[in-house]
Amino acid sequence: MSGEKFKSISAADFFYKNKEIAGFDNPVRATYTIMRELVENALDACEQYSILPEVRVKLIDEGNSIYKLKVEDNGIGVPYEQVPYAFAQILFGSKYTLRQSRGIFGLGGKMAILYGQITTHSTVKVMSSTGGFEKYSYELNINIQENRPVIRRKEVGPNPGRWRGTIVQFSFEGDYIRAKPKVVEYFKQTSILLPYANILFVDPDGVLYRFDRITDVMPKPAEEVQPHPHGIDVEGVQRMINASRSSTVLDFMANNFHRVGIATALNFLKSIKIEPQANPKTLQSKELLTLVSRMKEYDEFQPPDAQCLSPIGTDLLKAGIMREFRPEFVAVTQRGASAYSGYPFIVEAAIAYGGNIPITPPDEMSVFRYANKIPLLYDLHSDVAMKVIKKINWQRYRLDLSTMPVAFFIHICATKVPYKTVGKEYIADRPEVEYEIEWALKTCAREVKMHLAKKEKASIVQRRLTVFEKYLPLISRFATELAGVESQPNVEKVLKRLQTHAKEVEQRSTPQAE
Amino acid sequence: MQKRLNKEVLPKLNELGTEIYRQLEGGEFPRIKLPGRTTSNIIFNEELNQFILGDQKAVRSASNIKQIRSLTQLLWVASFAKRLVSEGKSSTLRDLYYHSLNYGIKFREQLESDDTVADLEALMTEPREAFNIFPKERSAIFGDLSIEYTTPETHKGKKANLGSNPDGVMVGLSVAQADFLSCSANKVFVIEKNAVFRRFIEERVYEKFNALLIDTAGQAPRLARLLIRRLNLELGLPVYLLTDADPWGMHIAMVIIRGSANAAHLRELTTSAARWVGLWATDIKRFNLPSFPLTKLDEQRIRLLEWDMRYRDFEWQSELQEFKKTKRRTELESFSAHGLTAIVEKYLPKKLKMIADMS
């Protein structure tokens, strides 16, 4: 081994050499991933601060497979001095707290910019303002070997309109023509989950895709929380100790972990026989290992709670589905918070029936999957949601997926989404997650079943009434002719009896819970 | 119906309308009961020697989604009949079907409206002819019979001789209801086929055998059956029936003698004294006639007739057995193989003698 030379490589260099792992394996995929990452950053910049999102995206064909992308948002803006790091240094801004957001470190956006730089040798232009008196423009490159931003040009100007937001613009090599179906589908599905956002996309052919806000209501933003003791590893704890100013293990536990207070920490430390008053910085690595491994096993910790999550809520989910599909009926449900490995998560689901929902063959079912508000467009058949859908006996709910217009919507929000791969494509079948999805869908299915039963009953009763209303006047007329009298008998009495009867039937048919 | 004015059905129709009217005014769902015409309610009556309806009743109620339509249809047919009778007009089953289209009364096909007319017949215990509703006429009569019309008003009192037209005279309502003035014939030949009927006229059978000739053109229409019955009962003429030698032909004869199940709700259409003179299954051998194999359908029909109450008499059964044995059938025209006049000169005298010997 002596001939081998070891040298550290920068994070930027690492991604440069391994770009396929983040979804940049080919120009088609890269086009989709780049657009998605930038749009997600734009939406996060708005939603985390309860700003109603206005996101405009423009893609221009510059020839030779080069495209120029411009994404504009009205989000919180990036502070003047942080712009170079936020856009041209990989892994900037790592944090020890957790909350639900689309991306964890803003990594994807920077990967996209890096990909643009290495394929077109051009700079990224960023204009931003936090809404103060100034707005500022940068032109940046990434120094790949040293993972550091290179400022090519910078300019500060007045901001008389107090504009706030960020505009990012850069070029990359891609293939929009073949990426188009996925890109358009991405915008469509994103808008379903975000009925409070205005999203505009102009594609290279000049086609405008516009998704208008239909409500001003937004879900509450996720709060940052400390990590839960069930969801942390030795490296994480070591870093937290290094950053902590606590002088005792007891304080360290009580101050740095989600749902851990003095009492819980004391009980826990006693049970693993670590001196509560010990200085955390002097813990032996063996003791540290014990601490962390016992933390994962200890079941007296309170489960994580969901304040760090930002579910979309049943009303908004319903509104989004209604806008896109105008279904005849939609059942929406939100499960209570649950957790896997110390990461809290919430499952929301909906089943829509009829309207513009298409009838699909069994292998192309309408299943809309979201994780932390990101639509998942690839690998449906590997996803846990599909596993659950295949498992459920839909006949029990009077649903026949191959002949009925049914669509499924599943949103999982979590501080850490259990993706199976780096590319945010599908969700692993964690038993806790599977269980929640199954019950969410079954709850919706029950409602759909009740709707269908009600509809069937109502249509039978209505059909009967129509028949009676058609024939009774005729009977009355012919009877009058036969009897040879002048005026017709009053059929209202009989019709009234019928209508009362119809109402009774309807009430009787009001479905009971299973 | 022959002698009475069909104005007599008017009070019955009025009664039906009044009852429905009363039910509606009282806030009730109108309903009526009529004799059931299902197979299980059709019984052979020995005394009348025909099929009659049993005691089962069918209900047509407006409260039943499945019956309200047929109740409406029945009442429409009744009101249509009332208009026909009171205005002295007449109509055919086909015509009635087309009329219904004007009234929002949907009959799916003519079979349905025909069936509703049968319902009215059963309910009123009157044949449709009493309501001036007639099937398509196709039977004809020829021979020396003088009649005086009783209907319609325009022809009332006018006289006619049924031998005056060499094509035969169509048996319609007016002929069937006419008064018989005089008749020189002493028997009636009823023939299933128009071709043979014409041959009989050409061969002057009416003279040679002193007979009236009736062409039923297949299964005898009701008016023809009524006329045959009247000739038999009022004028005392023996009736001889001539059909093809196959299960369908013999059934034409049977329906004239003992009636059809379809008309089980009606009386006074049968002529139980009529005699079937042929062609019998045994005639094929007896007269050495050209013949054809029975079809599958023929054989099915024979098996069905074997169990029919009307066929229980020995002569009928033995003919059915002969069909089963020989599996051959033939037609009246087959006599032409023995020359144009063979049927008249050889067959008829011989068969009439056989019949006379048998009884």
What's the average model confidence in pLDDT over B98-113? 83
CB contact under 8 A, A467 and B69: yes
For residue A65, what are the β-bridge partners? none
Terminal Cα distance for chain A, rounded: 69
pLDDT at A357: 93
CB contact under 8 A, B75 and A467: no
pLDDT at A507: 62
pLDDT at A101: 66
Q: For B207, which DSSP code? A: H
pLDDT at A510: 47
pLDDT at A236: 82
State the smallest CA–CA distance between residue B327 and chain A in angstroms.
Answer: 53
pLDDT at B7: 55
Looking at the partner chain, which of A464, A475, A493 has a beta carbon nearest the beta carbon of B71?
A: A475
B-chain residue closest to A474, CA distance: B72
Looking at the partner chain, which of B17, B24, B104 has a beta carbon nearest the beta carbon of A481?
A: B17
Contacts of B292 (CB under 8 A, 6+ apart): B328, B329, B330
- Segment B72-101, tens digit of pLDDT: 999 999 999 998 888 878 888 888 888 888
- What's the mean per-residue pLDDT of chain B? 86
Name the one residue in this structure whose structure tokens are 């109402």.
A503
What sign has the CA pseudo-torsion A233, A235, A240, A241? positive
Query: Residue B150 pLDDT > 70, yes or no?
Result: yes
Q: Give the total residue count for chain A.
A: 514
The residues of B annotated as belonging to the active site are 98
C-alpha–C-alpha distance, residues A398 and A396, integer Å: 6
Q: Helix, strand or coil for residue A213?
A: coil
A-side interface with B, Cβ within 8 Å? 464, 467-468, 470-472, 474-476, 478-485, 489-491, 493-494, 497
Low-confidence ranges of chain A (pLDDT < 50): 1-3, 93-96, 510-514
Of B268, B261, B357, B263, whose CA–CA distance to B315 is shortest? B357
What type of residue is A263?
A
What sign has the CA pseudo-torsion A382, A385, A387, A390? negative
Predicted TM-score (pTM) of the model is 0.61
Lowest mean pLDDT among A102-111, B35-44, B172-181: A102-111
Which chain A residues have a beta carbon less than 8 Å from that of B16?
A: 482
CB contact under 8 A, A485 and B21: yes
Looking at the partner chain, which of A464, A468, A475 has a beta carbon nearest the beta carbon of B20?
A: A475
What sign has the CA pseudo-torsion B29, B30, B33, B38? negative
What's the average model confidence in pLDDT over B240-246? 92
State the smallest CA–CA distance between residue B209 and chain A in angstroms.
Answer: 51
Best of A478, A491, A496 to substitute, by most chain B Cβ atoms within 10 angstroms, is A478
- Segment B292-309, tens digit of pLDDT: 998 888 888 898 888 888
ipTM of the modeled complex = 0.72
C-alpha–C-alpha distance, residues B327 and B239, integer Å: 29
- Segment B181-239, tens digit of pLDDT: 999 999 999 999 888 899 889 888 898 899 999 999 888 888 899 999 999 999 999 99
pLDDT at A21: 66
pLDDT at A178: 95
| Residue, of B49 and A52, whose pLDDT is higher | A52
